[in-house]
C-alpha cells in the first residue's frame, strides 16, 4: 500500500469553511482522550470505543503528518482551501487513527478508522451531524479530487445517539476504488466524527463491528 493511499482517509470533511474560531473555554475543556489497552476513552465527550487487539493505533505525530499530506492532496494549488485548512487547526482534535494492518503491510488496501472532533461553537447553525456534513460535502466537492456520493445523507441511531452518515467513493490510481463513510453527531459544542475507510464489503463489516462497541453517555437536553 502506497503512502498516498494511507492518507486518503484524512480528507476528513472536518474543515468546514465557515470562518471564525473556537473560544478558549471549549479548547481548554476538550481533550484528545486516552487508551487503556484496546479501549479508547474520552471523558469530555462521554465516548468510548473498543478496537480489536490486533489493530494498529497510529502514532499521533504520524497522524499529524498524514493530516498535512491529506490537506495538500485535496487543496492542490487552491489558496482558499489552504487558508481554510490552516484556520481550522485550532478547532480540530484528532482523537485517534487505527489501521487494520501496520502501515506498509503487503495488502491491497488497509482499512482504517479515524475519530476526530471539531468545535462548532462558532457556528450556531450546526445543530446536527447532517448540518455539518452539508458543509463537509461542499468542501470535498471544491477540492481537486473527484468524489462521488452514492446516496444522500441519512440518519442512524448508534449507541443511543442520532448520527448522520455520508458515503463517498474516490478512485485512486491504478484504478482502486476507496470508499468512506462519515458518521457525525453533535455533542457539547463539538462534532464527533468517525471516518471509516475501506474497499470491500468485508472490510466495511469489520469496521462496523468496531462501531458497534461504541458507548455514549446520555446528553442533557438543552
pLDDT value at residue 90: 56
Taking residue 83's Cβ as centre, other Cβ atoms within 10 Å add up to 12
pTM of the full structure: 0.81
- What is the rounded distance in angstroms from the CA atom of residue 159 to the CA atom of residue 215? 5
- What is the rounded distance in angstroms from the CA atom of residue 139 to the CA atom of residue 11? 10
pLDDT value at residue 54: 94
pLDDT of 153 strictly over 50: yes
Q: Please give the domain boundaries of the chain with CATH numbers for all domains.
A: 3-13+36-216 (3.40.1000.10)
pLDDT value at residue 58: 83
- What is the rounded distance in angstroms from the CA atom of residue 12 to the CA atom of residue 132? 12
Banded model confidence at residue 19, pLDDT cuts 50, 70, 90: very low
Scanning the structure block, which residue is given the C-alpha cell 458518521? 183
Q: pLDDT digits over 58-80, tens only?
A: 876 666 666 656 656 555 666 66
Banded model confidence at residue 17, pLDDT cuts 50, 70, 90: very low
Which stretch, 65-69, 102-106, 120-124, 199-203, has highest mean pLDDT? 199-203
pLDDT of 192 strictly over 60: yes
What are residue 102's phi and psi, to 5 degrees? -55, 145
The b/e string for 102-116 (b: 16+ C-beta within 10 A; e otherwise) is eeeeeeebbbbbbbb
Cβ–Cβ under 8 Å, residues 166 and 151: no
Amino acid at each position: 500500500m502506497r503512502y498516498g493511499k494511507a492518507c486518503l482517509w484524512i480528507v476528513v470533511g472536518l474543515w468546514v469553511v465557515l470562518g471564525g474560531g473556537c473560544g478558549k473555554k471549549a479548547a481548554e475543556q476538550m481533550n484528545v482522550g486516552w487508551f487503556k489497552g484496546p479501549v479508547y476513552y474520552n471523558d469530555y465527550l462521554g465516548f468510548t470505543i473498543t478496537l480489536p487487539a490486533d489493530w494498529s493505533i497510529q502514532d499521533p505525530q504520524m497522524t499529524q503528518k498524514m493530516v498535512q499530506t491529506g490537506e495538500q492532496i485535496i487543496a492542490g494549488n487552491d489558496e482558499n482551501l489552504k487558508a481554510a485548512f490552516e484556520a481550522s487547526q485550532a478547532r480540530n482534535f484528532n482523537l485517534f487513527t487505527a489501521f487494520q494492518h501496520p502501515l506498509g503491510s503487503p495488502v491491497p488496501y488497509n482499512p482504517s478508522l479515524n475519530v476526530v472532533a471539531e468545535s462548532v461553537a462558532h457556528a450556531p447553525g450546526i445543530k446536527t451531524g447532517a448540518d455539518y456534513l452539508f458543509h463537509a460535502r461542499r468542501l470535498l466537492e471544491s477540492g481537486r479530487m473527484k468524489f462521488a456520493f452514492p446516496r444522500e445523507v441519512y440518519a442512524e441511531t448508534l449507541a443511543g445517539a442520532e448520527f448522520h452518515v455520508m458515503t463517498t467513493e474516490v478512485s485512486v490510481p491504478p484504478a482502486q476504488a476507496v470508499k468512506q463513510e462519515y458518521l457525525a453527531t453533535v455533542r457539547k459544542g463539538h462534532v464527533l466524527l468517525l471516518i471509516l475507510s475501506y474497499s470491500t464489503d468485508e472490510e466495511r463489516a469489520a469496521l462496523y463491528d468496531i462501531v458497534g462497541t461504541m458507548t455514549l453517555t446520555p446528553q442533557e437536553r438543552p
